[in-house]
């Protein structure tokens, strides 16, 4: 039982922490993937579920911030003859970051669904290669979240500067 859990943990850890795509996998790794296929697929389904929930939360949060705060604030500033080029630039940058997040997650979700649907018993090397691709795409999603959050932080700082200037 310990060997089973260890092999599953090594595989999942290697997939989401390791770097670089491996073109050929060892016989031991291929055997571990084949033997533990159902468990690995179950863990991937769990990751997909929680990632989907996080995407929904972040996507809704970003949409609400942009539509209820960012756009409305910039419109109100313009109507009150208060110009702030930085806030307008950040609004555009935020829209770009938001789009990058949606695209990155869309690619990740598609590849993750394909991975979960693969026959890892019959094709462990292909499965592992796809797993590495999914891991890279998941990292891109993370980077897009960090970028979007960074733009939101900059926007907040710019709002504080406008407030202090009034």
Q: Where are the domains of the chain?
A: 2-14+24-165
**pTM score, whole prediction:** 0.79
* Intervals of the chain under pLDDT 50: 1-13, 15-22
Under the phi-then-psi rule, with left for phi > 0, alpha for psi from -120 to 50, and beta for the rest, what region is 11? alpha
pLDDT for 19 equals 42
pLDDT for 83 equals 81
Q: Dihedral sign, CA of 48, 51, 52, 53?
A: positive
pLDDT for 82 equals 85
pLDDT for 4 equals 42
Tokens for 17, please give them: 């922490």
What is the C-alpha R_g of the chain? Answer: 22
pLDDT for 2 equals 44
Q: Distance (Å, rounded) from C-alpha 97 to C-alpha 141?
A: 11
CA 58 to chain centre: 10
pLDDT for 40 equals 95
């Amino acid at each position: 039982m310990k060997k089973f859990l260890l092999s599953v943990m090594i595989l999942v850890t290697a997939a989401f922490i390791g770097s670089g795509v491996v073109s050929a996998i060892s016989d031991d790794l291929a055997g571990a993937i084949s033997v533990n296929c159902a468990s690995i697929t179950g863990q991937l389904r769990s990751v997909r579920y929680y990632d989907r929930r996080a995407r929904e939360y972040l996507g809704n949060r970003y949409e609400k911030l942009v539509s209820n705060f960012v756009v409305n604030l910039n419109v109100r500033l313009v109507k009150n003859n208060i110009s702030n080029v930085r806030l307008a630039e950040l609004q555009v940058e935020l829209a770009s970051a938001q789009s990058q997040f949606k695209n990155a997650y869309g690619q990740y979700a598609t590849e993750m669904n394909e991975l979960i649907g693969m026959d890892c018993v019959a094709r462990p090397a292909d499965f592992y290669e796809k797993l590495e691709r999914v891991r890279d795409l998941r990292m891109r999603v993370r980077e897009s979240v960090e970028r979007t959050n960074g733009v939101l932080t900059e926007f907040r700082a710019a709002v504080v500067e406008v407030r202090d200037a009034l």
